[in-house]
């Protein structure tokens, strides 16, 4: 059937709709549905139920046809774009979340935490990949291709894995970091500024690197090292590794460093510190309470005021001050071992007391020449308990012996003072107390001689008894087999 020129189909430029147009005063036979459908199809419109319904409606609406009649009979089905890939974060691990909001209601702002600590095996979120979307079609039946969603906009570093179900699993302990669309777990915590109310206290299972300082009242606990770029104020540092500070620490009598290995710092002022390794100080150690398991190196600085206990050697420019500041230096002791040593001694005493009690109980039962069955059983119990206690006794005795051996092996007396030991300085060296009433000019070296006499040497001169320049007193009798650790024992 030839197309009727009085009836036409007009298409939108993008084929998003088709309009059927009929001239006025057409013969009704031309407006029959079948004829119209043939014409519409011939024009290129994809016929479906909806189009057929519209064409049917067109014929009815034409009416008397006094004017040109047009009607949209087909519209395209638009494509539905795919969804972009995304990460659905676990609530507690969302690195984008405004932690400040969570912390806003805290009353203790020191406890505010502004980093996300994660542990191996934690699932921090679920990655959902992009979807393809749904294709559409134009009125001619052409495919309108759907836009595919964009991939997850985050790259996962090897410290996390994406399992087959899309779960994001942490592979190492540390801090979750989302930076420049890269998600990783940092094993050292970098604080770009100072530790203050913007960071809160820090408790981290690795090393902590602080670009700035540490404010008053804050506490840093790190399993690894602590690096500090600025001043440490009245803070608490608990450290499984080394403390390395580019500034000093002004502790004001309350600042502490605990459990550290080595400490390297510019100065220490009114600080209490306990370290198992060496202390390296650039300038002075002022009015501090220090326990140092290794050596003290302060070759350009002065130690004055406070109490410093050192297991190893001391290299220092001066000790004490011209103002006769009382300064106590305990030398050649192992303060960090005194706790375990006292514990072992205490246990030995307790076990011996228990054994004595058992012996007395057994003696009383044995006074009866014909003990009852119950008494015999009691004797068996006592015998067994005593046997157990004897094993404990042997264990603790071995432990104490090991501690004593370590103390003997590690203790040394090796003090190098380059410039001056001022009056007011007291050395506690084993069972001796050495008081300096007058200034002793350096370079001076204090040590034991082969007969275990306290000696000193200046420059290349021969060693002389330390008693020549200081008042040497034996404060307690030496403990047999433990040498000079009697002060601690007496304490």
Partner 1 sequence: MRVLVVDDSKTMRNIVKGVLATVGATAIEEASDGQDALSRVDAFKPDIILLDWNMPVMDGITFVKTYRVKNKTTPIIMVTTEAEKSRVMEAILAGVNNYAVKPFTPESLSKIIETTIAKAAAKKAA
- Would you count residue 373 as binding partner 1 (CB under 8 A)? yes
Instruction: Candidates 376, 452, 473, 474: give the one binding partner 1 (CB under 8 A).
Output: 376
Range 262-272 burial, b when 16+ CB lie within 10 A, else e = bbbbbbbbbbb
Q: Which of 283, 333, 297, 334 is nearest to 415 (CA)?
A: 297
DSSP assignment letter at 449: -
Q: Site residues for partner 1, window 192-221 (CB under 8 A)? A: none
Stretch that binds partner 1, among 9-17, 93-101, 380-388, 459-467 (CB under 8 A): 380-388
Residues 422, 439: Cα–Cα separation, whole Å: 5
- Would you count residue 384 as binding partner 1 (CB under 8 A)? yes
Q: 3-class SS at 364?
A: helix
Looking at beta carbons only, is 131 or 361 nearer to partner 1?
361
Looking at beta carbons only, is 157 or 376 nearer to partner 1?
376
Q: Site residues for partner 1, window 388-417 (CB under 8 A)? A: 388
**What minimum distance in Å lies between the beta carbon of 374 and partner 1?**
8
Stretch that binds partner 1, among 166-174, 382-390, 398-406, 419-427 (CB under 8 A): 382-390
**What minimum distance in Å lies between the beta carbon of 356 and partner 1?**
18
Stretch that binds partner 1, among 55-63, 298-306, 341-349, 383-391 (CB under 8 A): 383-391
Residues 376, 368: Cα–Cα separation, whole Å: 11
DSSP for 370-435, written as a single string = S--HHHHHHHHHHHHHHHHHHHHHHHHHHHHHHHHHHHHHH----EEEEEEE-TTEEEEETTEEEE
Residues 324, 424: Cα–Cα separation, whole Å: 5
Instruction: Candidates 27, 381, 435, 449: give the one binding partner 1 (CB under 8 A).
Output: 381
Residues 41, 55: Cα–Cα separation, whole Å: 11
**What minimum distance in Å lies between the beta carbon of 393 and partner 1?**
15
Q: 3-class SS at 278?
A: coil
Q: Crossing angle for the helix pair 33-43 and 49-62, nearest 10 degrees? A: 120
**Chain CA centroid to CA 322, Å:** 44
Instruction: Candidates 387, 394, 437, 441: give the one binding partner 1 (CB under 8 A).
Output: 387
- Would you count residue 134 as binding partner 1 (CB under 8 A)? no
Looking at beta carbons only, is 383 or 401 nearer to partner 1?
383
- Would you count residue 379 as binding partner 1 (CB under 8 A)? yes
Looking at beta carbons only, is 70 or 383 nearer to partner 1?
383
**What minimum distance in Å lies between the beta carbon of 352 and partner 1?**
19
- Would you count residue 355 as binding partner 1 (CB under 8 A)? no
Binding residues vs partner 1 (CB under 8 A): 373, 376-384, 387-388
């Amino acid at each position: 059937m030839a197309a009727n020129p009085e009836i036409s189909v007009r298409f939108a430029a993008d084929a998003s709709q088709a309009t059927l147009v009929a001239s006025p005063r057409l013969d009704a036979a031309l407006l029959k549905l079948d004829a119209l459908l043939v014409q519409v199809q011939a024009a290129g419109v994809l016929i479906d139920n909806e189009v057929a319904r519209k064409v049917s409606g067109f014929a009815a609406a034409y009416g008397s046809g006094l004017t040109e009649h047009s009607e949209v009979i087909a519209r395209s089905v638009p494509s539905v774009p795919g969804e972009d890939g995304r990460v659905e974060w676990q609530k507690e691990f969302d690195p984008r979340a405004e932690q400040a909001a969570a912390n806003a209601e805290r009353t203790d702002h020191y406890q505010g935490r502004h980093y996300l600590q994660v542990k191996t095996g934690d699932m921090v979120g679920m990655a959902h990949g992009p979807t393809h979307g749904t294709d559409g079609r134009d009125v001619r039946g052409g495919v309108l291709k759907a836009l595919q969603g964009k991939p997850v906009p985050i790259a996962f570093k090897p410290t996390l894995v994406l399992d087959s179900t899309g779960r994001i699993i942490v592979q190492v302990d540390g801090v979750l970091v989302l930076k420049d669309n890269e998600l990783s777990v940092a094993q050292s915590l970098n604080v770009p500024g100072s530790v203050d109310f913007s960071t809160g206290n820090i408790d981290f299972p690795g090393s902590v690197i602080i670009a700035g300082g540490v404010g008053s009242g804050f506490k840093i606990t790190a399993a690894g090292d602590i690096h500090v770029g600025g001043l440490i104020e009245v803070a608490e540092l608990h450290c499984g590794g080394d403390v390395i500070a580019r500034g000093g620490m002004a502790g004001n009598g309350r600042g502490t460093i605990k459990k550290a290995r080595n400490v390297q710092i510019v100065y220490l002022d009114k600080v209490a510190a306990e370290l198992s390794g060496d202390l390296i100080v650039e300038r002075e150690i002022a009015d501090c309470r220090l326990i140092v398991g290794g050596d003290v190196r302060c070759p350009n600085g002065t130690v004055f005021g406070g109490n410093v206990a050192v297991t190893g050697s001391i290299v220092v420019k001066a000790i004490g001050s011209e103002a006769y500041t009382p300064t106590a230096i305990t030398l050649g002791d192992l303060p960090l071992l005194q706790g375990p040593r006292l514990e072992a001694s205490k246990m030995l005493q307790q076990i011996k007391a228990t054994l004595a009690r058992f012996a007395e109980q057994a003696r009383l039962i044995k006074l009866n020449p014909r003990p009852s069955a119950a008494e015999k059983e009691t004797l068996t119990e006592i015998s067994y308990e005593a046997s157990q206690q004897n094993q404990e006794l042997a264990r603790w005795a071995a432990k104490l012996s090991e501690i004593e051996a370590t103390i003997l092996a590690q203790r040394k007396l090796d003090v190098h003072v380059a410039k001056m030991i001022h009056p007011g300085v007291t050395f506690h060296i084993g069972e001796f107390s050495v008081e300096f009433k007058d200034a002793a000019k350096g370079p001076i070296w204090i040590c034991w001689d082969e007969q275990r006499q306290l000696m000193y040497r200046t420059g290349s001169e021969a060693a002389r008894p330390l008693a020549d320049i200081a008042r040497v007193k034996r404060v307690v009798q030496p403990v047999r087999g433990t040498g000079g650790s009697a002060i601690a024992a007496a304490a």
